[in-house]
Amino acid sequence: MGKNQQNKKRKRNNNGTTAQTHPVAVTTTQLQLPSPPSEPAYASLIDGDDLECTVNVLETLVEFPEELGDKKYKDLKRRVHELYRVLAEGAGIGASLTSKISAALQDYRFTDALIYLFEMYERRLPPKLGALQRWVRECDATSAADGSHGDPEAMRCLDMILRIANMSTEKAAGAGGEKVLGTSGVAELDPAMDAKGKGKEVIKKMEVFRAREPVEGEIRIWEMMQKGTLFDTPPPTPYPNFRPVHHVLAADRKPPNLYDSTVYASSPSAISLTPASQRLRQPPRKVDVPGVPGAFVVLDVFTPEECLQIVRAAEAIGFEKDEAASGSAVMKNSILARNFVWLADEDFLAHFYNQILPFVPASAPINVDGNGGGKVRGINARFRVYQYTENQLYRPHIDGAWPAAGLHPETGEYMHDSSPAHDPLWSRYTLLVYLNGEGDIPDDTGCTTFFLPSDKMGVMEARSVRPVQGAVLCFPHGDTTGSLLHEGSAVGPNGGKLVIRTDLLYEAQGYGQFKPPASVGVVQGGKGEEGIGG
């Protein structure tokens, strides 16, 4: 018999019955403590005898709550509170709010989901980033080519999801409805009317931000592609200074796809870079995106000629199709762009990094738990070059964190996570490189559009960033607090958008939850691939 069992028996003998001198706040039945299974499924993690002892201790304390007044139980009470929080957020206590919200959204029961989301908001229960990403995907409220949005109830769910993600700040970005300096194309969306004629507004207003108007010398790359003038002569095969380093069959991608995927690595000088002394434009400079916390644009990072070289390489080697073969992704509204996966060489990465380094945050954001703060270290070598044609878009999503991809220094093998165990690097900012701009993308289409809570609950604001050739859009990701919901909005008639998606890397060593789990950013699909469109 364990010591706690002996103490339990002794108390009963002393009192004649089970002690009831103090009210019992929580009964054993309420706790629903599990009995140890005959063959524990988790024996490799917790020994069966240890589990039984733990259950006996908890049962004893429930029956004799006066014991908890002793200081020796201080650490135990803290750990039990943490366990309760974990159960409340994801593991159970009846069906948890997290699982209820997920189930409701999967079944398109948006009204039910909204009720559960509001309860989570009122109880101040912070969900995990992965849960936020799943919920956003299930809402699937992609904007149409004409600027209209999805199911109003789904949009309201997205609004509440964002408010939950920002509970720690309690500040709605862009609240107040003011006209933002430097924006144009403001359009009030006509609200749908219900049976009583009342408005059902879901987007308060649309702002289109132009970091810079078109300047002389920009190259209409999409127009060249359509006219067949991208190359002066047929490109050589294989394309010089690019080689395949990783190939995944369609069936092996996560989730399974209809098409294979290949990663191509470049060698130094694959893209001829213009020295700073020979650049005709102004040096790179930073412009904040109004109303979008942490988002900014760095102009003139790449010259039009450099952008043209990148597109020529991708077109010559071949953009690959991307279409899920099974799972919920099959039913989603996104029309996925074709893509070219490029593992950039060190020379290109160094040039890119040096161009933007003066403008990016020197350290990663610190979250509400006090984790974060790692120093900026570089750019993720794994680039995804996307080609969006007319009406193609990427639905609203929240970006997750990625490890530092690269090649093994000895074998040359492609590594999804190439940083050493003692010095892990993970992404904390999204980088979108716009390879073409105004001349190729009609009107105010093809933007990167952010959705943010307004001053009115249930209504969001849409703030769009207009592509500028050679510019880089940068914004934070990889944390629940401050998560930015955004989409790659549809391209207009006869237009096309070319964009690179990659990440800014920060130190992750010693920052606890700052380092994402190993499942985040799985190669060629899965959790990490859900939020990489531009």
Query: In this predicted model, what pLDDT tens digit does every residue of 276-317 receive, in sequence order?
Result: 778 878 899 999 999 999 999 999 999 999 999 999 999 999
Confidence at 367, pLDDT banded by 50, 70, 90: low
Question: Distance between CA atoms of 499 and 382, rounded to whole angstroms?
Answer: 14
Domains of the chain: 221-533 (2.60.120.620)
Q: Phi and psi of 222, rounded to 5°?
A: -65, -40
pLDDT of 527 above 60 = no
DSSP string, 103-155: HHHHTT-HHHHHHHHHHHHHHT-PPPHHHHHHHHHHH--PPPTTS--S-HHHH
4 within 8 A of 53, measured Cβ to Cβ: yes
Question: Distance between CA atoms of 286 and 422, rounded to whole angstroms?
Answer: 33
Question: Distance between CA atoms of 383 and 433, rounded to whole angstroms?
Answer: 10
Greater confidence (3 vs 494) lies with: 494
Which among 462, 455, 468, 454 is positioned nearest to 497, based on CA atoms? 468
Distances (CA, A) of 305 to 241, 273, 316, 468: 18, 9, 16, 14
Helix count (H) and strand count (E) of the chain?
A: 12, 20
Question: Distance between CA atoms of 200 and 183, rounded to whole angstroms?
Answer: 26
Greater confidence (28 vs 491) lies with: 491
Greater confidence (504 vs 512) lies with: 504
Query: In this predicted model, what pLDDT tens digit does every residue of 35-94 receive, in sequence order?
Result: 444 444 444 578 888 888 888 889 888 888 888 878 788 788 878 877 766 665 544 444
Query: In this predicted model, what pLDDT tens digit does every residue of 168-211 receive, in sequence order?
Result: 554 433 333 332 222 333 333 333 333 333 446 788 878 899 99
Question: Distance between CA atoms of 343 and 363, rounded to whole angstroms?
Answer: 25
Greater confidence (14 vs 165) lies with: 165
Entry pTM:
0.76
**Is residue 438 classed as helix, strand or coil in its secondary structure?**
coil
Contact residues for 78 (Cβ-Cβ < 8 A; gap 6+): none
242 within 8 A of 265, measured Cβ to Cβ: yes
Question: Distance between CA atoms of 489 and 141, rounded to whole angstroms?
Answer: 12
Query: In this predicted model, what pLDDT tens digit does every residue of 328-357 receive, in sequence order?
Result: 555 555 566 799 999 999 999 999 999 999
